[in-house]
Amino acid sequence: MVIDFNKLEEVANPQFKGGEGETMFRTFNDGMNKIMLGRLEEGCSIGYHSHETNSEIIYIVSGDARCLYDGGEETLSAGQCHYCPKGHSHSLINAGTKAPLVFFAIVPEQ
């Protein structure tokens, strides 16, 4: 099955999960999995939140990211992946200075 994110509407999510600025998403959701192509401009973030009923995988396509994860901090760049297992908490922050952070986020419903 092909999912063409170029054909999906990009939707702005202001202060997503309590974060700063807008998170832009193109989302495919079949009820079993949510797959999102996301974009965070400079200074934007997804707020710190918990995954009580599911997990999340974030793959960095371009840009630099910081993840706050269970009280620690991780840095990521293109080609790296962050995994937040069920029962854990995290956030995603654009750590770049002039480029958007582009990423895929996959949330399987468990």
Q: Would you report the helix, strand and coil content of the chain in percent, each value rounded to 5?
A: 5, 60, 35
Residue 67: both structure tokens together: 């993840």
CA distance 88 to 83: 10
User: Quick one: pLDDT band at residue 16, thresholds 50, 70, 90?
Assistant: very high
Asked if pLDDT for residue 8 goes beyond 90, the answer is yes
All structural domains of the chain: 11-108 (2.60.120.10)
> pTM score, two decimals?
0.94
Residue 68: band (very low, low, confident or very high) from pLDDT cuts 50, 70, 90: very high
Tell how many helices (H) and how many strands (E) occur in the chain.
0, 10
